[in-house]
Amino acid sequence: MALAPILLLDGGLGTTLKDDFDAADDHPLWSSHLLLSDPGTLQRAQTAFARAGADVILSATYQASFEGFARTSTSSLSSSSSSSSTSAHAEAQGLGREEAATLMRSAVDMAVRAGEERGDRESREGKGDDEGRNVAVVALSLGAYGATMVPSQEYSGRYDAGHRSAGQLRDWHLDRLRVFTTHAATWRAVSYVAFETLPLLAEIEAVRAAMHLACGEVEDKRFWISCVFAGEQRALPDGSAVRDAVRAMLGTKAGLATPYAIGLNCTAVAKVTDLLVDFERAVASLVDAGEVHAWPALVLYPDGTDGEVYNTSTRMWERTDGGTRSAEQSWDQQLFNIVRRTREKELWSAILVGGCCKTGPRHIRALRARIDTLSV
């Protein structure tokens, strides 16, 4: 059996914008706000990941939502028009659905341009394919519903009453997903759809249902589901065990699309090894029982934090007592060791690996160098 291919994802866009580009992160839309306020800086940040060697660039849409743009004032973005009645209306009302949808789709175009920069660099360095182009592809980033709440609740799963059931969450995700599926050029530019940082079993079912409905209307796309494992427990924020999360991700049920990849993100790297044991046991159990016919791909993009915890109320990273990272190993070394050992087991059909919060282009460049030492 051939060893699983490895695709390198980019890193944490929001924290990179703050740490490396001095961009404000005090808006509920986070990095998506720069689609409106500072697209040039956003483009530079994503291009930096492509030039660091990422194979996949995630769009700046993780926290994008109609609700978030509706709460967004445009008055401070154009001093020349701030006194007009149109601007005053925009300030009071925020952005409407059509304007919000256009901005969300522009994030895909931006990720495409960033990916092309990787091809340009490799062509100059003689590392491209026969045509001199080895571009990074685009993953449409779609965060949990909780990521759009104020304060954000994807780490807790404490959702409002209108977004708790699988049906309610399906409808919400489908509404946002159709921003992209109903625009042919945008949908063609997407290679993967990433449902990220999901804290609830109900939301796992919801995104599978949304993909089933959306892709019944347009070209099918590979998608992944990654969950968050906050704190010290090896469980979802709603208390569900990994085996239950995996069953929700892969179990056969009418009306649910099957993901190409499953895994985790926005989780401390020190927890990944133990969580992977749980994931592999759960998938093996489903395969042995005949409920799943083949192993999916694995997606891993843990945080680069070392003792810092994000406070959703203050929107600040706060350091706790001590770090968890080995003094002898960097983040990229730890993650590379996990990937290498996992690949040698010859279980997963592919491995997608990258970084989440507090991982920037330098982390991805270092991980790229290590991955390139592995045999194909």
User: Could you read off the pLDDT of 229-273 as tens digits, one per residue?
Assistant: 998 899 999 999 999 999 999 999 999 999 999 999 999 999 999
Residue 306 predicted with pLDDT over 90 = no
Is the CB of residue 3 less than 8 Å from the CB of residue 348? no
Tell me: the pLDDT tens digits for 100-144?
999 999 999 999 999 999 865 554 455 554 343 489 999 999 999
Is the CB of residue 284 less than 8 Å from the CB of residue 336? no
Residue 89: burial class (beta carbons within 10 Å; 0-12, 13-18, 19+):
exposed
pLDDT for 265 equals 98
Residue 32 predicted with pLDDT over 50 = yes
How confident is the model over 209-219, as a mean pLDDT? 94
Q: Find all residues with CB under 8 Å of 151, minimum gap 6, and list them.
A: 312, 313, 315
What number of other Cβ atoms are within 10 A of residue 327's Cβ? 5
> If DSSP codes are grouped into helix, strand and coil, which group holds residue 82?
coil
Joined together, the tokens standing for residue 56 give 């996949």
pLDDT for 358 equals 95
Q: Letter for the amino acid at 100?
A: A
Closest CA relative to residue 176, chosen from 151, 205, 149, 141: 141
Is the CB of residue 72 less than 8 Å from the CB of residue 29? yes
pLDDT for 29 equals 82
Joined together, the tokens standing for residue 129 give 């394919």
Pairing mode, if any, of strands 316-319 and 308-311?
antiparallel
Q: At what angle do helices 97-124 and 166-181 cross, to 10 degrees?
A: 60
Is the CB of residue 118 less than 8 Å from the CB of residue 197? no
Closest CA relative to residue 195, chosen from 257, 107, 269: 257
Residue 200 predicted with pLDDT over 70 = yes
Joined together, the tokens standing for residue 206 give 């919801």
**Preceding amide of 151 cis, omega within 30:** yes
Joined together, the tokens standing for residue 216 give 């019944």
Is the CB of residue 295 less than 8 Å from the CB of residue 287? yes
Joined together, the tokens standing for residue 310 give 């994000």
Distance (Å) of CA 25 to CA 13, 57, 102, 150: 11, 20, 22, 13
Q: What is the pTM of this model?
A: 0.90
The per-residue DSSP string of 219-248 comes to ---EEEEEE---SSSSB-TTS-BHHHHHHH
> If DSSP codes are grouped into helix, strand and coil, which group holds residue 318?
strand
Identify the weakest region by mean pLDDT among 39-48, 78-87, 157-166, 364-373: 78-87
How confident is the model over 316-334, as a mean pLDDT? 69
Identify the weakest region by mean pLDDT among 116-130, 180-194, 263-277, 346-360: 116-130
How confident is the model over 26-48, as a mean pLDDT? 90
CA 371 to chain CA mean position, Å: 21
pLDDT for 305 equals 79
Share of the chain above pLDDT 70, in %: 84
pLDDT for 120 equals 59
Q: Find all residues with CB under 8 Å of 105, minimum gap 6, and list them.
A: 179, 180, 183, 186
Is the CB of residue 169 less than 8 Å from the CB of residue 145? yes
Model confidence at 341, pLDDT cuts 50, 70, 90, reads very high
C-alpha dihedral, 148 to 225 to 61 to 29, nearest 10°: 20
> If DSSP codes are grouped into helix, strand and coil, which group holds residue 104?
helix
